[in-house]
Amino acid sequence: MPEATMEAVDAYIVGKLLAADPVLDAALERNASAGLPAIDVSAAQGKMLHLLARMAGARRILEVGTLGGYSTIWLARALPDNGQLVTLELEPHHANTARINIAAAGLADRVDVRTGPAIDTLDAMIAAGETPFDLVFIDADKQGNVAYLNAALALSRPGTTIIVDNVVREGGVLDAASDDPRIQGTRALFDAVAHEPRLDATAVQTVGAKHWDGFLIARVTG
């Protein structure tokens, strides 16, 4: 399918099903001005994450990979007034941009942006006995997928939803001989989920403004 057609279909979906959102538009503009890479989820994907969080009745959300806070805003909007979202970002510049975007969205009271290597932050959270999360969204370096999954499990409860982005990689996930660490990390994630008895999972392919990729979606069963 031509990329122009994929993007046109995404635009059709957004035009029909999503309301105009100046706050999110401004967040993307601020990200671009700050020099952040344009690798946020699409608007349709953000709305999907929002709906999944609402369907899960999430009161506590963990996000691994903040970037400029675009997906963070979508997820945080699904929380009740007393809900909390903890989001982890390696780069201080990205985290600071995200804090500005989150504050502009009126969500600073329910979002905690933590800066530093995500696995170190996650280990500290586990050691501190942090309250389990109802939904976890993993969208960080793909080499760390398995470590992030294991940490997510340690910070979950039966019924927690775990979502991982970028699991198809334009079909690259099929290439067992690839020397791309992102593909290796994605394949390792599938293997880990396949052998994890506490997870009930599937993955879906997506096409659109973000081209050909997909999400892995799992539920913690025990």
How does pLDDT run across 183-215, given as a tens digit for each residue? 999 999 999 999 999 999 999 999 999 999 999
What is the rounded distance in angstroms from the CA atom of residue 199 to the CA atom of residue 109?
A: 32
pLDDT for the residue numbered 76:
98
What is the rounded distance in angstroms from the CA atom of residue 154 to the CA atom of residue 58?
A: 17
What's the CATH number where 90 sits?
3.40.50.150
How does pLDDT run across 127-185, given as a tens digit for each residue? 999 999 999 999 999 999 999 999 999 999 999 999 999 999 999 999 999 999 999 99
CB 87 within 8 A of CB 66: yes
Summary mean pLDDT of the chain: 97
What is the rounded distance in angstroms from the CA atom of residue 218 to the CA atom of residue 108?
A: 28
* For residue 1, pLDDT beyond 80: no
* Percent with pLDDT over 70 in the chain: 100
Q: 90-112: string of b/e by CB count within 10 Å (b at 16+)?
A: beeebbebbbbbbeebebeebbe
Structural domain for 167, as ranges:
3-220
Task: Look at the chain and report how many structural domains it folds into.
Answer: 1
What is the rounded distance in angstroms from the CA atom of residue 66 to the CA atom of residue 42?
A: 14
What is the rounded distance in angstroms from the CA atom of residue 152 to the CA atom of residue 161?
A: 10
Q: Which residues touch 52 (CB under 8 Å, ≥6 apart)? A: 135, 161, 163, 217
